[in-house]
Structure 1
Amino acid sequence: MTGLFTRRDIARLGLGFSAAAVLGRPALAQGPAFFRIGTGGTAGTYYPVGGLIANAVSNPPNLVVTAQAANGSVANVNAIASGALESGFSQSDVAFWAHTGTGLFEGKGKVDDLRLLANLYPESIHLVVSKAANIKSVADLKGKRVSLDEPGSGTLVDSKIILAGWGLSEKDVKADYLKPNQAAEKMRDGGMDAFFFVGGYPTSAITELAATSSGIDLVPIDGPQADEIRKKHAFFAADEIPAGTYKGVGATKTLAVGAQWVTSAKVPDAVVYEIVKGLWSDKTRAALDAGHAKGKFIRKETALAGVGIPVHPGAEKFYKEAGLLK
């Protein structure tokens, strides 16, 4: 890396690098570059994967990358837009809606500056149910106690889409809005029939629940209703959670969205170039392969798969050098 940030530049980093960009100062001056990654709740997949990437990509004292727990896709996009975060993980659907001002962001304005660093891995939609609840289909959720995940999460958005695909809405279930670990605890105590989670498998909250409760199932999100959802929302793909991923649970067909690492166009190109170069280094490859079951799915060959927003110029430079972009 050529050069370091000044203390004044560090202060600007907390504002999403916007001041530095406006003033046209060098991207890499005196002092370390701090780059935060907004992830998700500690019981999900974003948080541990974000920690692995941050530790591997950091190159102190020049570049300090940190991962922090957050409320997931929507909250991360909003934080990037406001300058509270330099980057974050987001579902591909949420990133697309934010950049185009559609879907969840309809009437809220476009997040014009949202840019892609990399597509990471597929996020599977889990519909976790207690065996005692006898829920075999999404349609069976009617009248049941169901957590749709917390406000600001991409899971909440997708859970509503799934319910609608089977002719249901929030009003048709006894809805709660909990993080997956909280929903799992409530299910273990008999106070929850089902909960949605969108993320890479396996996730610790569900693994622990399957191992310590009287039994869980995963409900298939498949068939004509799922096909219609895919036609209407192109960011969904067919997916399957393998048998044995969770104790006592067989193979389950479902839908998935891409987990993407996004940032702001205001972040200097030189910083993003170093970040993306570090992401696809041998050091990070080893950390991802050893550190999390989803790590092996994070591949340079699929870094630009399912792209619905512009690629950051700094990332674009790397991908052109790597032969992934012309």
Structure 2
Amino acid sequence: MIRNKKIALILVAMMLVSVFVACQGGTKPAETPADKPAEGTEKPAEGAEKPAPAGGGEFISIATGGTGGTYYPLGGAMATILNGSDMGVQATAQATGASVENVELIHIGDAEVAFVQNDIAYYAFNGIELFEGNKYEDIAGLATLYPEVVQIIAAANSGIESVEDMAGKRIAVGAPGSGTEVNARQVLEIHGLTYEDLALADYLSFTEATDQIKNGQVDAAFVVAAVPSSAVTELATTHDIKLVPIAEDKANELIAKYPYYTYLDIATEEYRGFEGTVKGVAVQAMLIVNKDMDDELAYNITKNIFTNLDAVAESHARGKDITIESALDGMPIELHPGAQRFFDEQ
């Protein structure tokens, strides 16, 4: 009898526990893996339509570069211009990794306007060099802006007076996979040289290259940047250097083969110890959009930027180099019809 009572008590206890657990189950949150997004928060598909801005109007994201660079303040000024226009848009400048990333942002629809170097746009459109095997044929030009000069900096005692003199010398040709490295290779090629003709082709960034010139580890370096370049300015304050010119006939050969280059006078007086100008070549900073952008939108973006260049110039020193007259110099890809219409009216 006692044994039967114990069994009965155990059964009752088990039933009570079961009821208690069942009641608690309704309040326990469902477990979700930590790396699984909650429903409704999935990342939008690339190129998906963006929601309308809270204040009405169309979003215009301008992809620029790093916040300490040239593209970012210029892009900010352009966004301010568009916001103050009668276009009814909401424009912002987006800090990015610059040219290569910006091509991708236009391609996937995460930016409407982007700053790029025109040689990068050419490579992307044609699927060559840095974009080998991947053509971005959906990009179109809006305008070119200002020169990114191919500066060939040599130690004063290097014995280098021309590009041909680089044979047998130690040359910094740009960081691996950079646009500068491609520029260096192309300039040498037009002068009948390859890396094999050099004593050393050193793949260095601008800062590394100028440090190596200081240390006597390289004789010259390619620096592709707006003039004055901070890296060259700093080097010129402590060391005797020279800018190596490119002869006009060689520049013409270069432009004939690679149409994104332009020939220009480099104002050397912006560097300590220099006077006058040196002949050289440059690629161009430019604006691109998706070729499918509405013609009227592309027209109005171009019009508002180029009719307010004073405001652009106030944002950065390079802004003063942007003009309607030079806005198609070195255009490497097809101009967007909306931009074409604006320039045809001028």
Specify the code of the residue in structure 2 equivalent to 1:200. Answer: A
Change (3 A) 1:149 1:28: farther
Moved more, 119-128 or 225-234: 225-234
2:278 maps to 1:249: no
Aligned length: 298
Shift of 1:164: 1.1
Secondary structure in 1 matching 2:320: helix
Tell me what 1:149 maps to: 174
Q: Does the 8 Å CA contact 2:141/2:334 hold for their aligned counterparts?
A: yes
Tell me what 1:55 maps to: 77
Shift of 1:26: 7.3
Identity of aligned residues (%): 32
Secondary structure in 1 matching 2:148: strand
Separation in 2 of the partners of 1:113 and 1:192? Answer: 41
Separation in 1 of the partners of 2:218 and 2:109? Answer: 37
Separation in 1 of the partners of 2:157 and 2:111? Answer: 42
Gaps of 5+ in 1: 1-7
Tell me what 2:145 maps to: 120
Change (3 A) 1:318 1:28: farther
Separation in 1 of the partners of 2:145 and 2:79? Answer: 15
Tell me what 1:3 maps to: none
Secondary structure in 1 matching 2:218: coil
Shift of 1:176: 2.8
Change (3 A) 1:263 1:121: same
Separation in 2 of the partners of 1:146 and 1:88? Answer: 32
Q: Does the 8 Å CA contact 1:27/1:268 hold for their aligned counterparts?
A: no
Q: Does the 8 Å CA contact 1:74/1:154 hold for their aligned counterparts?
A: no
Give a deviation string over 1:10-29, Cα, whole Å, max 9, x none.
Answer: x76x94xx3229xxx87998
Give a deviation string over 1:153-209, Cα, whole Å, max 9, x none.
Answer: 332221101111222223333223333233223333443322212233222221222
Q: Which has the higher contact order (CA 8 A, sep 6+)?
A: 1
TM-score in terms of structure 2 length: 0.71
Q: Does the 8 Å CA contact 1:50/1:67 hold for their aligned counterparts?
A: yes
The ranges of structure 1 where at least 4 consecutive aligned residues each deviate by more than 6 angstroms after the TM superposition are 25-29
Superposition map of 1:1-326 within 5 A: 15=46, 18-20=47-49, 30=56, 33=59, 35-39=61-65, 42=68, 47-58=69-80, 59=83, 63-68=90-95, 70=97, 73-82=99-108, 86-101=112-127, 103-104=128-129, 108-173=133-198, 174-211=200-237, 213-250=238-275, 251-265=277-291, 272=298, 275-282=301-308, 284-288=309-313, 290-313=314-337, 315-316=339-340, 319=343, 323-324=345-346
Change (3 A) 1:287 1:133: same
Bigger radius of gyration: 2
TM-score in terms of structure 1 length: 0.74
Shift of 1:93: 3.3
